[in-house]
Amino acid sequence: MIIGVIIQAGAVPAFATGSGTLPWDGPIQTLTSNLTGPVATGISVVAFLAAGAALVFGEELGGIAKKALYVVLGISMIVFGNNFMSDLGITGALV
């Protein structure tokens, strides 16, 4: 019985603080809202169209230029894809 009281007394400081937030939650939420806002969506649509047109109509693009355009396409798909999928009614996991 005394051992149980000692274990329980030692376990009290081990409980979580209960604040529920981490220090980086605010900046990450701000970054997320900035990357999914209307300005970012507009820029990603224009970048997607420009990079796609450059890949289709660019006759002699070098290897580095093609890789840069693929990066632009990838980033614009990531930013634009969030709003596009939510417009279709497809959402990710809600935590």
pLDDT at 28: 87
Which pLDDT score, from 0 to 100, does residue 42 have?
80
Say if pTM beats, i.e. exceeds, 0.85. Answer: no
Please tell me the predicted confidence (pLDDT) of residue 25. Answer: 85
Any idea where the domains of the chain sit in the sequence?
A: 39-95
One DSSP character per residue, the chain reads -HHHHHHHHHHGGGS-------TTHHHHHHHHHHHTSHHHHHHHHHHHHHHHHHHHH-SS--HHHHHHHHHHHHHHHHHHHHHHHHHTT------
Per-residue pLDDT of the chain (95 residues; tens, 9 = 90+): 666 555 665 555 555 555 668 888 888 888 878 777 788 778 877 887 888 888 788 777 777 887 888 888 888 777 777 777 777 777 766 65
Report the pLDDT value the prediction gives residue 93, as an integer from 0 to 100: 62
